[in-house]
Structure 1
Amino acid sequence: MTNLTTLTLAEALDGMEKKSFSSLEITNAFIDAIDKANPHLNAYVVTTPELARERAKQSDAKRAQGKAGALEGAPLGIKDLFCTEGVRTTAASGVLGEFTPTYESTVSGNLFRDGALMLGKLNMDEFAMGSSNETSHFGPVVSPWRRGNEDSKLTPGGSSGGSASAVAADLCLGATATDTGGSIRQPAAFTGTVGIKPTYGRCSRWGIVAFASSLDQAGPIAKTVEDAAMLLQSMAGHDPKDSTSLPNALPDFRAATQRSIKGMTIGVPEEYRVDGMPQEIEDLWQQGIAWAKDAGATIKPISLKHTKYALPAYYIVAPAEASSNLARYDGMRYGARVSGKDLNATYENTRASGFGAEVQRRILIGTYVLSAGYYDAYYLRAQKVRQRIAQDFRDAFGSVDAILTPATPSAAFALGEKGDDPVAMYLNDIFTVTANLAGLPALALPAAVDKQGLPLGLQVIGKALDEESVFAVSAALEKAAGFRAKAAKWWL
């Protein structure tokens, strides 16, 4: 029998439908793989093998009765930002302690409704604040990829580093993730996986620990564009419990991956050429343009002239919202508590010991830009810039169907390489934050490896609510790229 953990989601569901293997068999295969790999990769912070086996048996029974759901019996990983009923949820932070929700997030609940099961909770940057998965209370995630012949441990990207590492290392069929400024797409690009951030409001934020509420959006990390479409189909949908959830009907995302892009116009923004960008990234971008042309698309140069202001605006808006959202973690109602001589001292002690350095940095930035005398100068101005960025995209989409850019300005770097320089770390999101600020769907897919054997990705950005075009273009590029590289399982 094929090594079950190497199958794509589509292949696994097809195999279970044909009775080539059961959900319990593939679930056990993943549990064994996690036992071997996780001590080296630190991708999972909680594993739920008994719960997974029980759900797998239920799925096998449902399939036998002809009642299989769209994802029946598929073992997935769930990012530790999603509340999971009866399973510890900490957002990889010490401040939440052993918090165990009594409810299920809408997104994970949707997946379970369709028959998927959970192998465990995946590591991440604390409160999703980071680009390298080094800010986690549980320690950094290690990428399964290696640089050339080196043994240095590489980042899988962040904040959804556990999700990306687990999918790349065949420790689940797919994973939930979240993207506030690139936290799905950058890890996907770093690990040779596929990740999509859908239109803001496509997926409910209810039951997801908040970072920056106007930017956060859930999405999947998967092995292929088709798998990502299948997962998003289940994850998305209107939720009356989330006031930002969109009531629009869901199109057939999987069908869109089979659509021709002949006759489509794809925009290429000049502003995405940045100083110091490696030649390999530029070469891959040009190759992606050539692939799109070969598939019948027309290429059109476009201008997104406010792009250079995106990162500064993002790093005002996101910390401001974070400082507001994280005020609730005070040691009073739930989570960790460090007592002090009075109420204020208890607040201070709890937050000082519970929050890591990066989270504290962003809370302080956010509190500063929202403070009296600075609100207009910083926060209000950043929101105005955000509107200009959104308008740039609206203008561009008047004449193009999708936009093609690099996903990241480099391949994965080693753990510790940029930890001392927050600005260098923030620059990892230079190609991704614009889609969050404008609320647009964007997908990263693997398209090549660099000279050291590390994955490089392309990004496809679409119009609001037009994930179908994003999937169509991405699938065409995926087919042309024929990316087959896999990380060597050096932990075995």
Structure 2
Amino acid sequence: MTLSAVAEAIAAKEVSSREVTQACLARIERLQPVLNAFISIEPETALAAADAADAALAKGAEPGPLHGVPLAHKDMYYDAGHVVTCGSAIRRDFVASTTSTALQRLKDAGSVRLGSLHMVEFAYGPTGHNVHFGPARNPWNTDHVTGGSSSGSGAAVAARLTYAALGSDTGGSIRMPAHFCGVSGIKTTTGLVSRAGAMPLSQSLDTVGPMARTVEDCARLLALMAGADPLDPTTSTAPVPDYLAEIDGSLRGLTIGVPASFYVDDLDADVARVLEDTIATLKRAGACIVEITLPDQMRLSSASQLVLNAEAAAFHAQWVRERPQDYGAQARARLENGFAVPAVTYLEALRWRGPALAAHLEAVAGVDAWIAPATPTPAPTIAETDVGGSVGAEAMIQRITRFTRPVNYLGLPAVSLPCGFSASGLPIGMQVVGKPFAEALLVRLGCAFQRETDFHDEMPELPA
């Protein structure tokens, strides 16, 4: 079942939360040794919460939108009384005293906690490598990366270990795992969802968003999480649209742009083929496809890296000085690079965001959204992306992140869609990028595309 289907089934008493939770836990027990998607698994507390949900329903309680639905999330969302490692040795024993707003809103809707999901150390990496917890493995081929930093979220949703998961996206950390693992995800507009209680990486770029099998499932989580939060004054105070009203919308009347360059350059042959097939599907479903010319995307990507490097280094400065040995080599090297960014350069990169966004909006004025590959390649192997173990690892990492960073720098929303497979059977996804706070239109577009295709229903073959 999808998240939407299982929530409705539990509310209708067609299946109990205990039965659903037990099924998830049995699958996790079997596949965790294969995939390494979880950092912690909590069967006793999950079953107790499921029993409480069932008892409340039996007594006539009005079910919440996620009543009794078992979920697991990236291990960077503080949950009071629980260890939150942030994928690190430094936080291996950190017990949160507060609960993140995004997570609390899902708990208030009735969800059950299964445990916490694998992530790249301090969310600072795009592959799924983690020297402290081992690499997460792609369910479609365990020799390949999941993508990062929401590595466990991508793997667990793809392998049907959880019905959905929170990720985060600072430089592509929802869209890359969604692409590599064949699931759906929403990178939200900066300021749409509260970041209170979520481990920070870059205060200018961090965003909270959902990952699930379908865009409809992502929309259900987004509808619960979005909106102003007094604990995070950077959240928008504008009314939250009714995202679920858009799930049955049509592509007719929508104009979708395809960039003339950058996002179509140097693509793997399979990715190029899937892009063409996706465009053809959108056309058949009634969308108008036009070519667009975007401003210099490499400059946006570079500015994004400067901001991220400087802000991450500032957050970690004390730990890097006092506990450098507790970082993995890759995370430490990235943080140390951040100390070399001059203050003037950082401030110039921040100051340019407004003019850059204005130029971008002018370039896309004639389209409702635009589409591009999430990365130029299907998932590379774990060995190919092992910094320190492979000569070409850093070049590969730069390549797979080049299509995601500009969107973060501009603060734009994007929906990630599974759109096909490589010749070797690895998933390939596309990102559809909207204007600020246009998530409702992206939900409409994504759901319409998924009514035309079945890539989101495909399952990896895993050990019985």
Q: Normalization by structure 2: what TM-score?
A: 0.95
Aligned residue pairs, count: 457
What is the deviation of 1:328?
5.0
CA distance in 2, matches of 1:139, 1:401: 41
Q: Which amino acid aligns with 1:400?
A: V
Alignment map for 1:331-410 (pairs within 5 Å): 347-348=321-322, 351-369=323-341, 374-376=342-344, 378-410=345-377
Tell me the residue number matched to 1:464.
Answer: 436
What is the deviation of 1:324?
1.0
Contact 2:263–2:403, Cα closer than 8 Å, also in 1? no
For structure 2, list consecutive stretches of 5 or more residues without a partner in the other structure. 388-392
What is the deviation of 1:136?
5.0
Report the secondary structure of 2:372's partner residue.
strand
Q: 1:172 to 1:136 in 2, by over 3 A?
A: farther
Contact 2:301–2:409, Cα closer than 8 Å, also in 1? no
Deviation sequence 1:93-114 (CA, Å, 0-9, x none)? 1112300111111111010000
Contact 1:79–1:177, Cα closer than 8 Å, also in 2? yes
Deviation sequence 1:418-463 (CA, Å, 0-9, x none)? 2233242132122211221111110111011110011111111111
Tell me the residue number matched to 1:313.
Answer: 303
Q: 1:119 to 1:328 in 2, by over 3 A?
A: farther
State yes or no: 1:278 paired with 2:268. Answer: yes
Alignment map for 1:278-297 (pairs within 5 Å): 278-297=268-287
Aligned partner of 1:30 among 21, 24, 31: 24
Tell me the residue number matched to 1:452.
Answer: 424
State yes or no: 1:107 paired with 2:102. Answer: yes
Aligned partner of 1:90 among 75, 85, 88: 85
Q: 1:385 to 1:271 in 2, by over 3 A?
A: farther
Contact 1:95–1:353, Cα closer than 8 Å, also in 2? no
Report the secondary structure of 2:122's partner residue.
helix
Report the secondary structure of 2:358's partner residue.
helix
Tell me the residue number matched to 1:215.
Answer: 205
Aligned partner of 1:177 among 154, 167, 180: 167
CA distance in 1, matches of 2:53, 2:356: 46
Q: Which amino acid aligns with 2:18?
A: L
CA distance in 1, matches of 2:282, 2:372: 12
Contact 1:196–1:443, Cα closer than 8 Å, also in 2? yes
Report the secondary structure of 2:244's partner residue.
helix
CA distance in 1, matches of 2:277, 2:356: 27
Report the secondary structure of 2:430's partner residue.
strand
Deviation sequence 1:215-235 (CA, Å, 0-9, x none)? 111111101111111111112
CA distance in 1, matches of 2:415, 2:282: 15
Q: 1:465 to 1:222 in 2, by over 3 A?
A: same
Contact 2:407–2:413, Cα closer than 8 Å, also in 1? yes
Aligned partner of 2:255 among 247, 250, 265: 265
For structure 1, list consecutive stretches of 5 or more residues without a partner in the other structure. 1-6, 147-151, 331-346
Report the secondary structure of 1:232's partner residue.
helix
Contact 1:307–1:389, Cα closer than 8 Å, also in 2? no
Contact 1:306–1:389, Cα closer than 8 Å, also in 2? no
What is the deviation of 1:294?
1.7
What is the deviation of 1:156?
0.9
What is the deviation of 1:359?
1.9
CA distance in 2, matches of 1:52, 1:375: 47
What is the deviation of 1:398?
2.0
Report the secondary structure of 2:339's partner residue.
helix
Tell me the residue number matched to 1:413.
Answer: 380
CA distance in 2, matches of 1:237, 1:417: 40
Tell me the residue number matched to 1:336.
Answer: none
Q: Which amino acid aligns with 2:162?
A: C
Contact 1:135–1:358, Cα closer than 8 Å, also in 2? no
Contact 2:384–2:396, Cα closer than 8 Å, also in 1? no
Q: Normalization by structure 1: what TM-score?
A: 0.90
CA distance in 2, matches of 1:109, 1:328: 29
Aligned partner of 1:326 among 303, 311, 316: 316
State yes or no: 1:45 paired with 2:17. Answer: no
Q: CA RMSD in A?
A: 1.6
Contact 1:229–1:471, Cα closer than 8 Å, also in 2? yes
Contact 2:263–2:373, Cα closer than 8 Å, also in 1? no
Q: Which amino acid aligns with 2:444?
A: A
What is the deviation of 1:274?
4.9
Contact 2:263–2:372, Cα closer than 8 Å, also in 1? no
Contact 2:53–2:68, Cα closer than 8 Å, also in 1? yes
CA distance in 1, matches of 2:131, 2:154: 15
CA distance in 2, matches of 1:138, 1:8: 29
Report the secondary structure of 1:71's partner residue.
coil
Q: Which amino acid aligns with 2:450?
A: E
What is the deviation of 1:391?
2.5
Tell me the residue number matched to 2:390.
Answer: none
Report the secondary structure of 1:145's partner residue.
coil
Contact 1:79–1:162, Cα closer than 8 Å, also in 2? yes
Q: 1:469 to 1:157 in 2, by over 3 A?
A: same
Q: Which amino acid aligns with 1:486?
A: M
CA distance in 2, matches of 1:51, 1:390: 46
CA distance in 2, matches of 1:184, 1:22: 31
Report the secondary structure of 1:221's partner residue.
strand
Report the secondary structure of 1:138's partner residue.
coil
Contact 1:306–1:392, Cα closer than 8 Å, also in 2? no
Report the secondary structure of 1:220's partner residue.
strand
Contact 2:264–2:372, Cα closer than 8 Å, also in 1? no
Q: 1:136 to 1:166 in 2, by over 3 A?
A: farther
Contact 1:271–1:307, Cα closer than 8 Å, also in 2? no
Runs of 4+ off more than 4 Å: none
CA distance in 1, matches of 2:450, 2:182: 11
Contact 1:269–1:405, Cα closer than 8 Å, also in 2? yes
Tell me the residue number matched to 2:53.
Answer: 59
CA distance in 2, matches of 1:396, 1:275: 19
Alignment map for 1:194-213 (pairs within 5 Å): 194-213=184-203
Contact 2:72–2:113, Cα closer than 8 Å, also in 1? yes
Contact 1:178–1:217, Cα closer than 8 Å, also in 2? yes
Q: Which amino acid aligns with 2:79?
A: T
Aligned partner of 1:240 among 230, 235, 241: 230
Q: Percent identity?
A: 37
Name whichever of 29-38 and 423-432 sits farther off.
Answer: 423-432
Contact 1:256–1:472, Cα closer than 8 Å, also in 2? yes
Contact 2:295–2:360, Cα closer than 8 Å, also in 1? no
